[in-house]
Amino acid sequence: MRPDPAQARALAERAVETTSADQAEALVMMGSTALTRFAGNRIHQNVAEDNAGIAIRAVVGTRTGVAATNHLDVDGVRDCSTAAVRAAMAAPQDPDFPGLPNPEPITELERRSAATAGFSAEERATAVRAIVDQSASRGLVAAGTVSVSEQAFAIANSNGISAAMPTTFARATVLSTGPDGGTGWASFSDRDVSALAPAALGDEAATLAERSANPGELEPGAYSVVLAPEAVADIVNFLAYAGFSAKAVEEGRSFMSGRLGEKLVSEAISITDDALAAETIGLTFDFEGVPKRVVNLIENGVAVSPVTDSYWSARTGSPNTGHALPAPNSYGPMPLNLEMAPGEETIDGLVAQVDMGVYVTRFHYVNIDEPVPVLLTGMTRDGTFLIENGRLTRPLKSLRFTQSAIAALRDVGGVTRDRKLLGQDAGATHVPGLLLRSFEFTGQTD
Amino acid sequence: MRETVEAALDAARVAGASYADARIVDTTDESVSVSNGRVEGVESSVSAGVGVRVLLEGAWGFASTADTSRSGVDDCARRATDIARASGLVPGNPVHLAELTPVIDTWHGPCQKDPFDVSIEDKLGVLLAADEYLRAEAAVKITKSKLGFQKVRKWFGSTEGSYIEQEYVESGGGIVAYAIKDGEVLPRSYPNSHGGQWVQGGWESIESLDLVGNAPRIAEEAAALLAAQSCPIGEVDLIIDATQLALQVHESIGHPTELDRVLGDETAFAGTSFLTLEDLGVLRYGSDHVSVTADATVPGSLGSFGYDDEGVPAQRDYLIRNGLFSGFLTSRESALAMNRTSNGCMRADGWNRMPLIRMTTVSLEPGEWSFDDLVADTDEGLYVETNNSWSIDDRRLNFQFACEIGWEIKGGKIGRMVKNPNYTGITPRFWNACDAVCSRDHWSVSGVPNCGKGEPMQVAHVAHGASPARFRGIRTGVGR
């Protein structure tokens, strides 16, 4: 079954019409995905999936229950609806439940690429060949993925919301490894696979792998860092996870809790969530069918506002920004289309400002030690270099950092003009490179 | 279902596959959650479909569909074969599979009280009662409690003649109290963090957790953490509880011994391993006190099954024996790199994923110490419980873990409480610093229902047995 937004919408509307609940919401997700994975310069895994499912949220009084199924025949959807109502009936009344949202105009944007939807297994293999050749021809070994997905989403509720949208997403990654410990990384993500230049991507990774051969040691301590966009994206995504939700702010778990309107980080830092941005990926409405609004999260270093959904909008008395995740949702609202404002610099220009520091291509396995300061620990990976006197001088082994993201963002030396889009099926993070004046490295690998 | 499996295999054969297997998987999930006195979610889901894996001219292809009609299955098998043909455009050495005797069998996991027969009201009743106790402590500002259940039925067949039906139920749950003050958020969980304790079993396993009875103690400990001292900075003798040690085993022994990682198949995502094939039987992974097994036959463990998702029987195998590196977790394909047969570790996250090498129940075998004797034998040290965060490098060497709670050890006695304890190390050095492991009386199996690996991402349900153990000279208080 190919993802079809009209079919998805009809299914969602029919499910809402036939429920016995006081109110009901149906979310239909149809997806066709394919991923070709390579390692050791050969394709070793190659998979495809077709699936479609419906999730029904039933409301009885102020009680809610959710059931989901991928059995989409009449009996399957009826059983799902019955299970949702049964779940709602079992729950106690929730006096804070504000009811399902009402319809609002939704911005319709083209987020589906026919090229991505039609990208075949042979075309994926051809792209892999072009990527791998760049490493194999230099005595390096390439690993990575080329993947495409096509999705159709539809949301309907008994208040009249009926939204549907097709999306596509294409991604390619490559990690090139050399015989002398050098590794290099490059990645691509876009709605349109036509924008993929596989040979150039393979060349970027292979060149970085050659350049990072024979990595050396670095004494742990605080250094200036120049972060490539992929590393910046990790930090921004953890800020979102830890602190950009109205739920986290309300519960006192966020760095923004009790500090809205205060300058928390450098004035060089502005972060918005903008699902309507030209380059981004994903839906223009949230998983309750509410239009996603542009939200200034941090503006010139000042904490402005978190994102909300219908529940947390009602709880906090602030507008619904349209950032609901699928129900039931214990995380609270979440921004999925983060944009960090660009600056005027280049990566080379940032490096030129550093007397002694570290260049980071990307991070690995980052996790939160403490939520309010967003104290993160993780490793660098695949292209870490020492910066001396304004230039990259030698490659470094992977370093461990233990650093508060909020503290690191207080002293920003510069922001690049060019940004990179790091995508996923449900959204994207669009970020520049950064120079941070103090970043604590606490160890390194063997 | 057997006819559908056979139809998929026939279609793959006709399309040219030299080998094929087909798995139909039917999964039912249910979860209930409560937070701060409010029912946050009551959710159920069902998902069923078929996945077909084929070898064609030595290259893999896999396709999956929710359409299990005859035409849907035929199309899926043909698509898998087409994908395998495309894989051959960027070939490596042809894939071969280690020998396996075909089997026709059924297997059922343990379950005394089917949790899907227990009413949602009863499940919520447990959580709401526990939540009330958690909220009784004024310093606790956020409470969370959750129960989850999964029933899985699988039908597997291969062109070599295997046909296996398996069915099991998993149950899990836990509670968390968060004490919050002046920008500090301090969680305390029971019986484990990250979703609690999970087992193969039924409602009886939830009853045995006694979430309600443990809630007051957990809330009290969370509140006490606000006044606790910070983690000592420096090198200490560290005693780690069984639940945190389970995650330590997971990250620094389980993952690095996955042979597909060693061979480079995971390089671009989660990474490789510091281990090589040449390390087998040579590397001193740990001290003499460290013996680690991979065992898919542990009753009631999340890591148990009758057969893996290649149809290989469940096995128990040593990964480390008295400190010596002794074995990998393998598949039929990877085991040939050692001229061995598979030890049965291929598992898939549902019908729509192809199997990967995954952990089963990877356990630190018990030693001889009682916990009290171990503390009494420690002059100055730190005892830590319950994981709070984790991170390890892409070769599984440099790790850093944070725990929810710790206590100083002074003069052989447990002393003052410590908040936000963390520690770091390098895998083989860390395990070689182990000089004592507690006995089977202190040994327990922790279920880990959230092990991520592979692209597209797969989440495996694995488990680890451990008892508290002591490690000499470990660096703590990193970044504090």
Tens of pLDDT, residue by residue over A158-196, are 999 999 999 999 999 999 999 999 999 999 999 999 999
A426 pLDDT tier (thresholds 50, 70, 90): confident
**Could you say which of B210, B225, B240 is where a domain stops?**
B225
Q: Per-residue b/e over A230-251, b at no fewer than 16 CB within 10 Å? A: bbbbbbbbbbbbbbbbbbbbbb
Q: Do residue B209 and residue B257 come from a single domain?
A: no
**Residue at a domain's end among A193, A208, A223:** A208
Residue A56 shares a structural domain with residue A131:
yes
Give the SS3 label for residue A113.
Answer: coil
Given a contact cutoff of 8 angstroms between Cβ atoms, the answer to whether B139 and B227 are in contact is no
Other CB atoms within 10 A of residue A90 CB: 19
Q: Can you give the pLDDT at residue A425?
A: 76
pLDDT digits (tens, 9 = 90+) for B26-44: 999 999 999 999 999 999 9
Whether B179 and B250 share a structural domain: no
Give the pLDDT confidence score for residue A140 in this predicted structure: 98
Task: Read off the CATH number of the domain in which A82 is found.
Answer: 3.30.2290.10
Q: List pLDDT tens digits, range A273-324.
A: 999 999 999 999 999 999 999 999 999 999 999 999 999 999 999 999 999 9
Residue B384 touches partner A, C-beta closer than 8 Å:
no
> Is residue A315 less than 8 Å (CB to CB) from chain B?
no
Whether chain B has a CB inside 8 Å of the CB on A47: the answer is yes
Calculate the CA B88 to chain-centre distance: 33
The tokens describing B314, both together, are 């469940």
Closest A-chain CA to B419: A370
- Based on the fold, state whether residues B24 and B66 are members of the same structural domain: yes
Report DSSP letters for A239-270, one per residue.
Answer: HHHHHSBHHHHHTT-STTTT-TTSB-S-TT--
pLDDT for the residue B358: 98
Residues B282 and B221 in one domain: no
Burial class for B108, CB neighbours closer than 10 Å (0-12, 13-18, 19+): exposed
Is residue A1 pLDDT above 80, yes or no?
A: no
Residue B281 tokens, joined: 């039987």
Do A157 and A233 belong to one domain?
A: no
Q: Are residues B254 and B193 in the same domain?
A: no
Which distant-in-sequence residues (6+ apart) come within 8 Å of B92 by Cβ? Answer: A40, A41, A42, A43, A44
Domain total of chain B: 2
Q: Which of A179, A208, A237 is the last residue of a domain?
A: A208
Q: Would you say the C-alpha torsion A155, A161, A166, A171 has a positive or negative sign?
A: negative
Domain boundary among B166, B190, B225: B225
Query: Which chain A residue's Cα is nearest to B82?
Result: A121
- Same domain for B387 and B372: yes
Instruction: Specify whether A104 is located in the same domain as A175.
Output: yes
Separation between Cα atoms, residue A70 and residue A53, nearest integer Å: 4
Burial class (CB in 10 A: 0-12, 13-18, 19+), A100: buried
- Interface check for A397 against chain B (CB to CB < 8 A): the answer is no
Residue among B234, B303, B53, B261 nearest B160 (CA): B53
Domain, as residue range, for A395 = 215-446
Residues B240 and B126 occupy one common structural domain: no
Q: Are residues B63 and B109 in the same domain?
A: yes
Q: Could you tell me what percent of chain A has a pLDDT over 90?
A: 98
What lies within 8 Å, CB to CB, of A137 at 6+ separation is: none
pLDDT, residue A401, reads: 98
Query: What residues does B401 pair with on adjacent strands?
Result: B390, B423
User: Which among A73, A69, A33 has a CA at the least distance from the CA of A54?
Assistant: A69
HEC profile of B348-385? CCCCCCCCEECCCEEEECCCCECHHHHHHCCCEEEEEE
B480 pLDDT tier (thresholds 50, 70, 90): confident
Residue B189: strand pairing partners: B176
Question: Same domain for B112 and B22?
Answer: yes
Compute the nearest-CA separation of A338 from chain B (Å): 22
Helix (H, G, I), strand (E, B) or coil at B70: helix
Domain match, A162 and A69 both: yes
Q: What is the mean pLDDT of residues A196-221?
A: 97
**What DSSP character marks residue B250?**
I
- C-alpha A49/C-alpha B85 separation (Å) is 17
d(CA A14, CA A56): 11
Contact B145/A at CB under 8 A: no
Chain A within 8 Å of B90 (Cβ-Cβ)?
yes
pLDDT at A2: 83
Tell me: do A153 and A298 sit in the same domain.
no
User: Are B62 and A47 contacting, i.e. CB atoms less than 8 angstroms apart?
Assistant: yes
Euclidean distance between CA atoms B357 and B269, whole angstroms: 15
Cα dist. A314→A99, A235, B54, B291 in Å? 10, 29, 52, 55
Residue B104 near residue B37 (C-beta atoms within 8 A) = no
Give the residue from chain B lying closest to A257, CA to CA.
B183
The gap between the terminal CA atoms of chain A, to the nearest Å, is 49
Kindly tell me if the per-residue pLDDT of B325 is higher than 90: yes
Judgement on whether residues A359 and A422 belong to the same structural domain of the protein = yes
| Cα B57 to Cα A140, A418, B51, B446, distances in angstroms | 26, 45, 20, 42
Q: Nearest residue of A to residue B48 by CA position?
A: A70
- How many structural domains are present in chain A? 2
Same domain, residue pair A178 and A249: no
Among A157, A181, A208, identify where a domain stops: A208
pLDDT band with cut points at 50, 70 and 90 for residue A12: very high
B449-460 as b/e: b if 16+ CB within 10 A: bebebbbbebeb
Inter-chain CB proximity A66 and B141 less than 8 Å: no
Instruction: State whether B389 and A45 contact (CB < 8 Å).
Output: no
Nearest by CB to residue B422, choosing from A44, A47, A369, is A369
Q: Does A220 lie in the same domain as A160? A: no
- Whether pLDDT at A446 is above 90: no
- pLDDT, residue B83, reads 98
Contact (CB<8Å) B264/A39: yes
Give me the domain span that covers residue B447: 229-476
User: Is residue A60 scored above 90 in pLDDT?
Assistant: yes
pLDDT score of B217 more than 70: yes
CA distance to partner chain B, nearest, from residue A116 (Å): 17
Residue A424 is predicted with a pLDDT of: 83
Residues 6 or more apart from B78 whose CB is under 8 A from it? B11, B12, B15
> Token pair of B61, please?
């292809």
Is A445 close to B60, i.e. CB distance below 8 A?
Answer: no
Distance CA A278, CA A184 (A): 29
Q: What is the pLDDT of residues A73-94, one digit of tens each?
A: 999 999 999 999 999 999 899 9
- Residue B478: which of B117, B249, B231, B236 has the closest Cα? B231
Q: Do A158 and A245 share a domain, yes or no?
A: no
Same domain, A186 and A233: no
Please state, in angstroms and rounded to a whole number, the distance separating the CA atoms of residues B177 and B226: 12
Question: In chain A, what residues touch B65 (CB-CB under 8 Å)?
Answer: 49-51
Residue from the list B82, B124, B269 with its beta carbon closest to the beta carbon of A90: B124
Q: What is the pLDDT of residue A91?
A: 87
Last residue of a domain, one of B225, B250, B270: B225
**Phi-psi category of residue B454: left, alpha or beta, with phi > 0 → left and psi -120 to 50 → alpha:** left
**Test mutation, A370, A401, A404, chain B, max B CBs within 10 A:** A370
Residues B270 and B149 in one domain: no
Domain identity same for A188 and A230: no
Confidence band, pLDDT 50/70/90 cuts, at residue A37: very high
Per the CB < 8 A criterion, the answer to whether A248 and A334 are in contact is: no
- Give the pLDDT mean for B380-388: 98
Average pLDDT taken over every residue of chain A: 97
Based on the fold, state whether residues B255 and B167 are members of the same structural domain: no
Q: How far is CA A320 from CA A99, A305, A334, B87, in A?
A: 13, 12, 12, 47
Please enumerate in sequence order all residues whose Cβ is within 8 A of that of B26, keeping only pairs 6 or more positions apart, or say none: B46, B47, B48, B152, B153, B154
Percent of chain B predicted with pLDDT > 70: 100
Answer yes or no: do B233 and B221 share one domain: no
Q: How far is B199 from chain A (nearest CA, A)?
A: 23
pLDDT tens per residue, range B247-282: 999 999 999 999 999 999 999 998 999 999 999 999
Question: Would you place residue B126 in the very low, low, confident or very high pLDDT band (cuts 50, 70, 90)?
Answer: very high
- Same domain, yes or no, for A349 and A413? yes
